[in-house]
Amino acid sequence: MMLRGFKTAALLVFVVVTLGLTACGGKQADPADPNDPSATGLPPVGGSPSDPSTLPPGDTEPRIGVAQRAQSAVEGMVMGAVIGSQAGPIGAAVGAGAFLIYSAITGHVPLSGGGGRGGGRGGGGGRGSGSEADREATLEDQIHRETERQTELESQIEDELRRQEELLNDIDQEDQQIASAAREVVTDENLEDRADPRIAPKAPKDRDLPMSIFEEERVVIPKKTWGNKKKLTVIKRTLDADRDGNPEQIRYFDEETGKLVRKEQDQTYDGKLDVWQSYEDGVISSRIVDANDDGNPDIWESYAPDGRMTARTIDRDADGIQDAFYRYDGGSLIEEKHDSNNDGKVDLVVAYENRERVRSEEDRSRNGKTDTWTIYKTVDGNETVVRIERDTSGDGNPDIFESFEVADGKSILAKREEDKNGDGSVDITSIYRNGKLVKREISDPALVPL
């Protein structure tokens, strides 16, 4: 509203000044002649300022006296205040001042509908009256055109503000899209896969992002930089979402085929890359992850062309030694290996069939030799132990064989066989019922008493 008041006040000043200039410029005075009584600006002696008979030769319009100018100034001030009040206090003040000045100079009140007061200039319906009417009509036309122009300008401003607001909304949406561009997409299907570690996980999906948000350049990758057998020419596209100079994503595309060959990512937004993905024919084939963000990789993954994981290796304690190994086939886990003491040697191997554990081999003594073999069976949906073989002598051959029965989903010892002398033959057989020894058979009398 205040802006509209200033606009209207400015318009009033413009119009009044224009009228004043027009009125003053309607008749140019000749250079002052000391012999011309009119040069003093005072009415001729003995004459009336409104009496044409007393005007100097050649001047057909009556002159305006000081009293008439003062009265016109007062009336003009009032009219200007009334008109300007439509724009508020500021407009009223500006209108009053502008109309006062104009009326004092010309002796006429703008927009008064008359040609002056007391037989002033244009009085009596002469030439002055017609000129004044024309000027008033011109002024009204100018005001009308200016009002229309202001209305059109305000409409244009409103349209521009709406356009800028829409642009800002688009920018906000793009910023949100960029801010989450490097994050892994988690779907219900992914969550289901993760809930069962025996299902081969799917490769993370790459989000479709507009190329306009990436900075693009052509680069050459030297041989063996990524394990590549030859030099590669690629298109490098970089995304710096937070504008800190450290990219959140870098994508490399084959220059000839346009297919993605590598992707580097900063998932934690700390300015350090922590995921490196390689692609074959545009499909992810391997992935390396720095899960604890210490600058060193601790997860290595391989994927089949269908997007399912085929192998996963982990450094669980971030000591630089890989200590867990998983293999998948047909979308299912088939084997896992573990190095529990970080000596660089696997001490537990577990085998799976149809996503069920079937056997394991373990080096419980941590001497680098397997000494425990376990057989599993799924009964009523429960995975239970049905047989365990142990090597207690350390020669790599089992010498204790234990068989189990399944009751209420639990494994209960049913029989134990022992090779006491290490000749490969069972020397002692113990029978159990409900976990309690009920019978023992000894094949070698030298072992009695035990």
* Among 407, 415, 351, 362, residue whose Cα is nearest residue 387: 415
Decide which of 96, 122, 155 is a domain's last residue.
Answer: 155
Whether 29 maps to a domain, the answer reads yes
Q: What is the pLDDT of residues 43-82, one digit of tens each?
A: 443 444 444 444 455 554 556 676 777 777 777 777 777 7
| Residue 337 is assigned to a structural domain of this protein | no
Q: Tell me: the pLDDT tens digits for 205-259?
A: 888 888 889 999 999 999 999 988 899 999 999 999 888 889 999 999 999 999 9
Could you tell me the two tokens for 125?
């319906």
* Cα-only R_g, the chain: 51
Is 101 a member of any domain? yes
∠ CA 318-322-324, rounded to 5°: 105
Look up the domain containing 352 and give its range: 347-450
Interatomic CA distance for residues 327 and 302, integer angstroms:
10
pLDDT in the model for residue 54: 46
Band of residue 18 on the pLDDT scale cut at 50, 70, 90: low
Q: What pLDDT is recorded for position 399?
A: 94
* Structural domain includes residue 209: no
Residues 88, 12: Cα–Cα separation, whole Å: 13
Neighbour-count burial of 317, counting CB atoms closer than 10 A to its CB (0-12 exposed, 13-18 middle, 19+ buried): exposed
pLDDT computed for residue 119 by the predictor: 42
Instruction: Calculate ∠ Cα 400-404-406, nearest 5°.
Output: 170
Q: Is pLDDT of 180 > 80?
A: no
- pLDDT of amino acid 184: 45
Q: Report residue 304 CA to chain centroid gap.
A: 33
| Rounded-to-integer distance, Cα 256 and Cα 240, Å | 25
Block residue for tokens 């104009």: 102
Q: Which residues contact 442 (CB under 8 A, 6 or more apart)?
A: 427, 428, 448, 450
Instruction: Write the DSSP symbol of residue 199.
Output: B
Alpha carbons 226 and 280: distance in angstroms, whole number: 13
**pLDDT of amino acid 330:** 93
Angle at CA of residue 361, ends 359 and 366, nearest 5°: 160
| Angstrom distance (rounded) from CA 273 to CA 276 | 8
What pLDDT was estimated at residue 192? 53
Burial class of 98 by CB neighbour count within 10 A (0 to 12, 13 to 18, 19+): buried
Whole-angstrom distance, CA of residue 430 vs CA of residue 417: 6
Write down which residue in 107, 133, 155 finishes a domain.
155
Structural domain count, the chain:
2
Q: What's the sign of the alpha-carbon dihedral 315, 316, 320, 325?
A: negative
pLDDT tens-place string over residues 359-414: 999 999 999 999 999 999 998 888 999 999 999 999 999 999 999 998 888 899 99
Contact predicate 309/328, CB 8 Å:
yes
Q: How far apart are CA 361 and CA 366, in angstroms?
A: 12
Answer yes or no: is 240 within a domain: no
**Residue 449 Rama label (left phi>0; alpha psi -120 to 50; beta):** beta
pLDDT, one tens digit per residue, over 115-143 is 444 444 444 444 445 678 888 888 888 88
- Helical ranges in 119-187 per DSSP H: 127-179
Mean pLDDT computed over every residue of the chain: 79
| Confidence band for 112, pLDDT divided at 50, 70 and 90 | low
Q: Which of 155, 175, 209 is the last residue of a domain?
A: 155
Measured CA angle at 178 (ends 172, 184), to 5 deg: 135
Per-residue pLDDT, 20: 52
**Residue 1 DSSP symbol:** -
